[in-house]
Amino acid sequence: MKRFDTDIFLQDLNSVPWDCAFIHDDINDIWATWYKLFTEVIDRHAPLKKKLVRGNAVSWMTPKIIQAINTRDRLHRRFTKKKTSENWETYRKQRNLVTSLKRSSLKSYCINVSTNSKHPGEFWKKFHCLLPSKDRVPRPASHMPNLQPEEFKTHPSVVSIRRKLGRQTSFSFTPVQDSYIKRILSTIKINKATGADGISPRLLKLAGPRIFSSLTKLINQCIVSGSWPTDWKTSIVSPIYKKGTETLKSNYRPVSVLSAVSKVAERVIFDQLYEFSLDFLSGNLSGFLKGHSCTTALLKTFEDIRKKLDSSEHSAAITIDLSKAFDSINHDLLLAKLSAYGVTKDALQLLRSYLTDRKQHVKTDGVLSDWQIVRCGVPQGSILGPLLFNIYMNDVNFSDISCSLRFYADDTTGYSSNLCPSTLQINLQNNVGLLASWFCENFLAINHSKSQSIVFNRATLPTPFVIDSNELDYVTHMKLLGVVIDNSLSFNVHIKEVCRKVNTKVSILRRIRKFIPSDVMIKLYKAFILPHFEYASPLFIGLSKGLSAKLESTNAFALRTLLNYSKSTAYEELLKTANIKSLEHRRIEQALILVYKSIHNQTPNYIQELFSLRSNGYSLRGHLKVVLPRPTSSYMQHSFTYQASKQWNNLTDKIRMSESLSIFRKNLQDIQLSSSYDCSCLFCKQIV
């Protein structure tokens, strides 16, 4: 859009007769007219042009370099035909010139990308052309048994919802004001992909000040009529690799690229339905909820287990992987559940229109497949889809399952404890059976090959757990929400995995070190290295001395390598150059922030329950301290609750009494945080 004039574009939009779209009654006719009026202006100012692009083209390959390469190849052919010293010297000089041009262009490209990228994702998107690429394969659509909507009125899940909630308030969608849509348009992320309608998020946001009023009328008409435009139900699916064998379709997640306009309407529907759902969503859900995260889910799970181990109980956990869970949602059953929760018929009509008659085509290596009808599931990549998935899963918590459950998206963890290993095995097995039955009743398939079980404290159970006649092997460690947990809760395997990933990234960035100034390299370090160390960092506040030292050593290696410092350079100097604190300080800082937020009711209830104020309480200044647990074993001594409480109580009155979270963060920057315990337990004695 080199010749694009924003002022003239907005001026033309101002003169568009938007009211012409609303002379129709049918929502599809209204949308078609509105779309035609909008795209006519877009085509005048930013017409689409076709351009042939080589599949392996790179941004730093300039025409000058290509010309030099062609000359080099021609001189090489001349030399192969007539191998004289003169021809060799001419070829050698041209070859060196090509190498020099490539290095110079690559350096300029890296500096430009590093300094002008607004966020790490934008940089990585431009930087990945320097790395090997991997092919992606599409994922097949799910299938659903042919059942009538009436059959779901007596479905066990629907019955359990009605029995659990009894009489509840009803919910319906309400029209919104112009200012509401204007605000949504102003927050659109312009780097998102363009949907099948060809309207880019960038242009939609730019046009926001001129189209918000007409778009409000369009979205309100959707709410009033209970209809979702057919064009909004088309999507382009890009298969994204997850993990495992790359040739297996089941190892890819289909992410839908939807119409940018439809996502504005989705935001309206989401905001209203989300507020209503907070009244009935279980505390066992941690995915796609404000204030919740993988970190909070992991903390809840492992604090529960540590407390039981500290009481000399045996604990075991099972992680269940669901196959294509988002793609398997039965629309009629979902709508029946929504009805049981109190969603009115008019609102259900709109949601049914949103869910049904969707179609998609898969984009692989730039090639689009034929259109396919989507008969079940919620679109991944949508705004409303994750919330609908949570609502669909919620009633499992109303069943007779008695073990502890933790859900994060399609990851399910069940865990239990008991003084007797045999009783533990029987109880957890019975609960797993109930859980498997619920999944079956709700048309969700368990991926048995990826489901695992683990027993903590080196206990042994009499028999393996069984799911649908499939035995689950006991493992000594497993990956859960991005963290590798082991049966001793030492996180030894996880730390080794973190160090391996960091070393891999360092080796990649080292290739371009000579092209990058040190200040830019520090930005890259903070964007692509530091996050590996800091993922779920509060979970590791009680890390053993040996593992903590291993992390600091790996961090020192990364900084020395990327900043091209000698081995004799002190770690403190490296940290000062990068303008960061030690990893230990940063872990403690993040843990203390969680404590502050918990005390001020800014975290989920299950995190707030980990801390309780001392009896003299909030009213007396200088006494905002928490009750310190009394551990009887190393499990609790190394727990988040104990270590975070101890660090919190050691803070000065001024810091603990900070008036806001931003002030609290700032105050933490002015002090030095470190582990205050001198532990001689097995964890801290281990040799890494």
| DSSP assigned state of 194 | P
Percent of the chain with pLDDT over 70: 88
Q: Residue 7: how many CB atoms within 10 A of its CB?
A: 7
Contact 254, 377 (CB under 8 A): no
Q: Residue 101: how many CB atoms within 10 A of its CB?
A: 18
To which residue do tokens 């460690």 refer? 477
To which residue do tokens 């859980």 refer? 435
Residue 140 binned pLDDT confidence (cut-offs 50, 70, 90):
very low
For residue 231, give the 3-state DSSP assignment: helix
What is the Cα–Cα distance from 348 to 335, expressed in whole angstroms? 7
For the chain, domain boundaries:
63-128, 148-284+325-390, 492-578, 585-684
User: pLDDT tens for residues 262-279?
Assistant: 999 999 999 999 999 999
On the question of pLDDT at 173 being above 90, the answer is yes
- Kindly report the pTM of this predicted structure: 0.86
The stretch 45-61 carries a mean pLDDT of: 69
Contact 268, 392 (CB under 8 A): no
Residue 458 binned pLDDT confidence (cut-offs 50, 70, 90):
confident
- Select the more confidently predicted residue: 599 or 683: 599
pLDDT at 129: 60
The stretch 320-339 carries a mean pLDDT of: 93
On the question of pLDDT at 335 being above 80, the answer is yes
The stretch 137-156 carries a mean pLDDT of: 55
For residue 648, what are its two tokens? 């919190």
To which residue do tokens 């927050």 refer? 187
The stretch 517-524 carries a mean pLDDT of: 86
pLDDT at 60: 75
471-480 own/partner pairs: CB under 8 Å, 24+ apart: 472/318, 472/448, 478/319, 478/452, 478/454, 480/298, 480/301, 480/319, 480/411, 480/413
To which residue do tokens 């394969």 refer? 137
What is the Cα–Cα distance from 377 to 139, expressed in whole angstroms? 13
pLDDT at 687: 37
Contact 454, 472 (CB under 8 A): no
| DSSP assigned state of 234 | E
Contact 360, 238 (CB under 8 A): no
The stretch 473-485 carries a mean pLDDT of: 93
The stretch 167-173 carries a mean pLDDT of: 85
Contact 337, 378 (CB under 8 A): no
pLDDT at 51: 66
What is the Cα–Cα distance from 65 to 482, expressed in whole angstroms? 42
pLDDT at 364: 73
Ranges 373-382, 403-412, 583-592: which has the least confidence: 373-382
Please give the mean pLDDT across all residues of the chain. Answer: 87
What is the Cα–Cα distance from 553 to 533, expressed in whole angstroms? 12
The stretch 254-258 carries a mean pLDDT of: 82
pLDDT at 274: 97
